[in-house]
Amino acid sequence: MPISFRFRPIPFIACLLLVSLGIALAQWQTRRAQEKELIATQMADRQHLPALALTATTPASEIQAFRKLQLRGQFMNEWPVYLDNRPLQGKAGLYVLMPFRLTGSNRYVLVARGWQQRDARDRTHVSADPAPTGELVLEGIVRDQLDRVMQLGAPETVKPGSIVQNLELDGIVKQTGWNFYPFIVEQTSSAGDKLSRDWPLPSAGADKHRGYAFQWCALALMAFVFFVVTGFRRGKNG
């Protein structure tokens, strides 16, 4: 019996959709891997630069993501904000954020002070760890924004002591009226508190994304091969 191929519209459309989806997702994962590799390169280049002392007159062109900054000023202890769902080493916890006013100016920087463990008995309770008072000098790394997590429900209005899942700087600006720089600083210097500053690397995971890209390409190939093979089988038996 001669082997023939029977074209069927519905299986063809299903195959086309799967192949298109697989290729699109593979390309997206590849772009994510390239972004992580670019971040890794930027971090490596800028980590070797000396810490830049940030003042109200510092040129904006020098304040780049992952640049080390030195800040002189004081924390605004009355305005802590907590980022929820930030685990560390398998433990549930939060990031502690607080505005920092630069000495001799009306400019503010939002500083991620560190990580603290969540209260296992009451997730709405936060054990306050006040920042040092008075003028101090700290160092940190510039971030355009902190890593986001899945938002559960509508974002709430940020206020002092809020526990939020994600934070937009505009929310604090709107509530305080203060003049913030458009970035966040992850504190790296010690401050004599109980917070952990083992910040996750934003450049991590490039290999993982490439692995996902390979899997999506394999799915697209399998869908195409399945369509062709089953078409020939049907043609031979029909």
**What's the pLDDT at 153?**
62
Q: For residue 235, what pLDDT is reported? A: 44
What is residue 152's predicted lDDT score, i.e. its pLDDT?
63
pLDDT at 79: 92
Distance CA 217, CA 198 (A): 35
Residue 3: the pLDDT is: 67
The answer to whether the predicted template modeling score (pTM) of the entire model surpasses 0.75 is no
Helix (H, G, I), strand (E, B) or coil at 215: helix
Q: Give the pLDDT of residue 70.
A: 94
Strand partners, 102: 73
pLDDT (0 to 100) of residue 11: 80
Helix, strand, coil shares, percent, the chain, to 5: 35, 25, 40
Distances (CA, A) of 110 to 54, 126, 233, 238: 13, 19, 64, 70
- Sketch the domain layout of the chain as residue ranges: 49-187
Residue 136 CB contacts under 8 Å (≥ 6 apart), including other chains: 72, 73, 74, 75, 191
CB 8 within 8 A of CB 231: yes
Distance CA 198, CA 132 (A): 20
Which residues of the chain fall short of a pLDDT of 50?
A: 234-238
